[in-house]
Amino acid sequence: MKPYTSIIKMIGNTPILQISLKKTLWELYLKMEKFNPGLSMKDRMALNMINQAERGGFLKPGFTIIESSSGNTAIGLAVVSAVRGYKFIAVVDHHAAKEKLDIIQAYGGKIVFVKGNYGKGEVAIVEREETARQMCQEIPNSFCLKQADNLNNRGAYIDTLAKEIYKSISKVDVLMGPIGTGGSLSGTAEGLKKRNPKIKVIAIEPIGSTIFNSMGGPYLQSGTGNPVGADIPFNVNYSLIDDHGYVSDQEAFNTCRFFARKKGILIGGSAGGVLYKAIEYASNQEGRGKLIVIMPDGGEKYISTIFNDKWMRENNLFNRKVDAYLEIHV
């Protein structure tokens, strides 16, 4: 392998891990996006949004990038900003994992919290975006990338993540992934369906998220889903999504803990949620098939929450039934 000449060139080409299932002939593959430099899939869209803004003349050397983020987009932007010489400010709410905020600051990014009191499971996306918009108006030479509606988010995955999947695995039947802005799932779906329109795409959102018409409510899975009151992001392309499902915080987090302890695989909360639903889906299929799942990030960013017994207990998140189910199927 030739040496890389920039950390940016190390974005993408993440490994795929196959998981054996006990009760089905279906094959399950995990696209391990934690192996990107900023430790999540969002590095891909951060790079593409910055590249396109530079091409459009909106970003010039020395500018400040301001973005509302649950953390992973901000880390990706902080990495690229460090390399390209931009200042970076992340507008976050209390939902952002502490580990993510520490990482943003390690790359030289600044953190601004939105004002207001919010419940534990409430995500303040509307307030975050409004704060970022105001700051962009007030701070000279600043630019907001607006990940929810910037189609260079979705565009980032079409020729990267999708291509990496079809180059590694022949004849994928089902793609499953989480959905927040919709960029990663819609973009990957677009790239895969261009080659094989028969691929079934399934979106998984937390119970309480509003992308597929639910009434909405609080949830603790970070980065994924669309909270009550927030508009559906432009990056969600419903025409490419064939089916959808909901996952509880208990299912998501106990799956993360099971895979860490029993399989040595440390994944984040949204990854745990999609993985649980993927195991359930594959285990209920007849015959043979191939299911690939997007694992957005790693568990390293959730050590003080999902992997902390006290936090799990305080939030009533332990559920032995999830472990028992996984024990039978994986």
Output 161 or 289, the one with its CB closest to ligand PLP. 161
Please report how close the Cβ of residue 42 comes to ligand PLP at its closest, in angstroms.
Answer: 5
By beta-carbon proximity to ligand PLP, the closer residue of 45 and 89 is 45
Q: By Cβ distance, which residue is nearest to ligand PLP?
A: 223
Question: Least separation, in Å, of the C-beta of 185 and ligand PLP?
Answer: 6
Shortest CB 157 distance to ligand PLP, Å: 8
Judged by CB, which is closer to ligand PLP: 185, or 322? 185
Sheet (strand 174-178) strand order: 16-19, 27-32, 290-295, 174-178, 200-206, 243-247
Find out whether 111 and 104 touch, Cβ atoms under 8 Å: yes
**171 - beta bridge partners?**
none
Helix 269-283 and helix 320-329: axis angle, to 10°? 50
CB of residue 320 to ligand PLP, shortest distance in Å: 25
Q: Which is nearer to ligand PLP, 222 or 254 (CB)?
A: 222
- C-alpha dihedral sign at 7, 9, 11, 16: negative
d(CA 168, CA 226) in angstroms, rounded, equals: 31
Catalytic residue among 31, 34, 42, 290, which? 42
User: At its nearest, how many Å lie between ligand PLP and the CB of residue 59?
Assistant: 21
Report the C-alpha gap between 166 and 283 in whole angstroms. 23
Burial (CB count <10 Å: 0-12, 13-18, 19+), residue 320: exposed
- What is the rounded distance in angstroms from the CA atom of residue 276 to the CA atom of residue 199? 20
**Tokens 């509606």, residue?**
149
Distance from C-alpha of 2 to C-alpha of 17, rounded to nearest angstrom: 23
DSSP-derived secondary structure letter, 217:
-
Is 193 annotated as catalytic? no
Would you tell me which residues interact with ligand PLP (CB under 6 A)? 40, 42, 70, 72-73, 178-185, 223-224, 268, 270, 296-297
Smallest distance from ligand PLP to CB 288, Å: 29
In the complex with ligand PLP, the residue whose CB is nearer, 109 or 183, is: 183
Q: Taking the CA of residue 114 as centre, how many other CA atoms within 13 Å lie in the half-sphere pointing to its CB?
A: 26
The distance of closest approach from Cβ of residue 30 to ligand PLP in the complex, given in angstroms and rounded to an integer, is: 14
Query: 241, 185 in Cβ contact below 8 A?
Result: yes
Indicate the residue among 155 and 180 with the shorter CB distance to ligand PLP: 180
With respect to ligand PLP, which residue has the nearer C-beta, 26 or 103?
103
Distance CA 164, CA 122 (A): 35
Give the separation between CA 115 and CA 37, rounded to whole angstroms.
31
State the pairing for strand pair 243-247/64-68: unpaired
Gap between the Cα atoms of 274 and 204, Å rounded? 6
Q: Would you name the residues annotated as active-site residues? A: 42
